[in-house]
Amino acid sequence: MANNVGDVVAYSSANRIATITINRAAQLNALNEAVIVGLQAAWRRFEASDDRVAILHAAGDRAFSVGADIKEPPREMWQGVPSIGAEVSKPVIAAVHGWCIGGAYVIVQMCDLVVASENTVFKYPEAQLGFTGGLIASAVARIPHKIAMEFMLLGEDLGAERAFEVGMVNRVVPRGSELAEAERMALILTNSAPLVVTTLKQFAMQTLNKSPAEAGAISRDLLLRVRESEDGAEGRLAFREKRTPNFQGR
């Protein structure tokens, strides 16, 4: 089964594996509002599905993603991040290649496993550009502290082999084979005990320290759900109409 959750994010399902694809190759898979909203919808769909594992990858051969689209940046980058913008209790494998920059790396670092093509280059240049969403700080709980600080602050290129050496990725594979390796790993997970897999992921997520930006994004997600709910719309309408609102709890 395959269909799009948005023009620029595709979702397919086979053998209890969901494959989520960023599909803006002509723009080097830059993260605009449509991509971020599409990713959030894909994570929610995955969580509600019978699929047991998701693979995240991107179209084209030059970049997994160059990060935020500077021409049309997303309003809330965190919404596309698994376990931040949407609850994801099942494992996610990132299959990356080429450039993986800025917010794209933030998404990848929140995946449970990462397979990198040998041509992958990670980069976080926000300190040199003068802005940040802060979620990158979670890297200190996922890779050694000094490496995380170097990566966050210096903005230098970090290649696939170095990323493997410092624990940012699980596998480095020949160019073009990252998706196949991710699928191999996913098949192991689909044949594993789902309750054990999800319990271990839950415990792992609780063990990792949440940065202030991460906790703030999760809180903001809850507040946005209230604001954008049917009850929220009903409350605003009732106020304008000077009547008692009829709340439905949704």
CA distance 148 to 189: 28
Strand partners, 86: 82
- Sorted by sequence, the CB contacts under 8 Å of residue 51 that are 6+ apart come out as 13, 16, 17, 18, 90
pLDDT at 208: 84
Distance separating alpha carbons of residues 143 and 149, to the nearest angstrom: 10
In a 13 Å sphere around the CA of 41, the CA atoms on its Cβ side amount to 17
Tens-place pLDDT, residues 18-54: 999 999 999 999 999 999 999 999 999 999 999 999 9
Q: What is the CA radius of gyration of the chain?
A: 19
Q: Of the ranges 53-67, 89-103, 109-123, 124-138, which one carries the lowest mean pLDDT score?
A: 124-138
What's the mean per-residue pLDDT of the chain? 92
Cα–Cα distance measured from residue 232 to residue 126, given in angstroms and rounded to the nearest whole number? 36
CA distances from 70 to 27, 31, 51, 75, 129 (A): 11, 9, 34, 12, 12
Question: Which pTM was predicted?
Answer: 0.87
Which pLDDT does position 127 carry in this prediction?
A: 92
Q: 2-241: which CATH architecture?
A: Alpha-Beta Complex (3.90)
Structure confidence at residue 224 (pLDDT): 67
- By mean pLDDT, which of 88-102, 149-163, 227-241 is the weakest? 227-241
Q: Is 208 exposed, middle or buried (0-12, 13-18, 19+ CB in 10 A)?
A: middle
**2 pLDDT tier (thresholds 50, 70, 90):** low
- pLDDT surpassing 70 at residue 221: no
The tokens describing 171, both together, are 């596998």
- Overall average pLDDT of the 94-113 stretch: 97
